[in-house]
Amino acid sequence: MQCVFSLCLRSYMLRVRAVVMTRDDSSGGWVPMGGGGLSHVMIGKVRRPEGGRHRQYLICGERLRDQTTILECVLKQDLVYNKVNPIFHHWKVGDSKFGLTFQSPADAAAFERSVQAALEELADGAACGVIFTSSSPIAPITNSCPGFHPDPVSAPHPLSGLGVGFTWFPICTVSPADRCCQA
């Protein structure tokens, strides 16, 4: 299956290395997605063309050995995030369950903080709450993708008043989709 958010792989606020997992409820365990292997996992902010200024966050996973996109998941208000141990975290969005086995506790902590920052921004304009089972402070958000330019209509980041330093990151335009998907 060809997912529609592949542009986000060039524009991200965080990139870590991890094995992407999915929950196999029939066996009651976590299994590697897309044949396994180490992946670059990125969190990016995207805008859907039909949504005008409507933006959303996306988690993308690209397998290192062949650059295949194996994970694309839109972050939503109903996301439930669990930190199982220092290097394995998982989350649920709707009926989809994903996990990451990180290369280091530092990568896991950075990913967790970025997800929390994204969810807090999403919740800022929404009535429903966000369930987050860990209470790490928000980390600075930086732009790690040279060659992209910030969206000219971007306003100051909603978290800027928290005293956290950051650089506004680029926006990439994607095709319509409002779901988690896997290649």
Provide the residue-wise pLDDT of the chain in tens; the chain has 183 residues.
344 444 444 568 899 999 999 999 898 899 999 889 999 999 988 876 565 566 788 999 999 999 999 999 999 888 999 999 999 999 999 989 999 999 999 999 999 999 999 989 888 754 333 333 333 333 333 333 333 333 333 334 443 443 333 333 333 333 333 334 333
The reported pLDDT for the residue numbered 5 is 47
Contact in structure between 131 and 41 (CB atoms under 8 Å): no
pLDDT of residue 173: 31
Which residue has 């009535």 as its token pair? 127
pLDDT of residue 163: 35
Q: Token digits for 83?
A: 């930190």
CB 59 within 8 A of CB 42: yes
**What domains, with CATH codes, occur in the chain?**
6-173 (2.30.29.30)
Q: Which two tokens mark 120?
A: 């807090």
Residues sharing a CB contact under 8 Å with residue 180, sequence separation 6 or more, in sequence order: 72, 73, 74, 93, 94, 96, 98
**Cβ pair 17, 103 in contact under 8 A:** yes
Query: In whole angstroms, what is the distance from residue 168 CA to residue 175 CA?
Result: 22
Q: How many CB atoms lie within 10 A of CB 51?
A: 13
Residue 149 CA neighbour count, 13 Å, CB half: 2
- Structure tokens given for 131: 């369930």
Q: What is the DSSP letter of 31?
A: E
DSSP-derived letter for residue 13 is S
pTM exceeding the 0.95 threshold for the entire prediction: no
Checking 51-56 for CB contacts under 8 A at 24+ apart, the result is: 53/153, 55/171, 56/122, 56/178
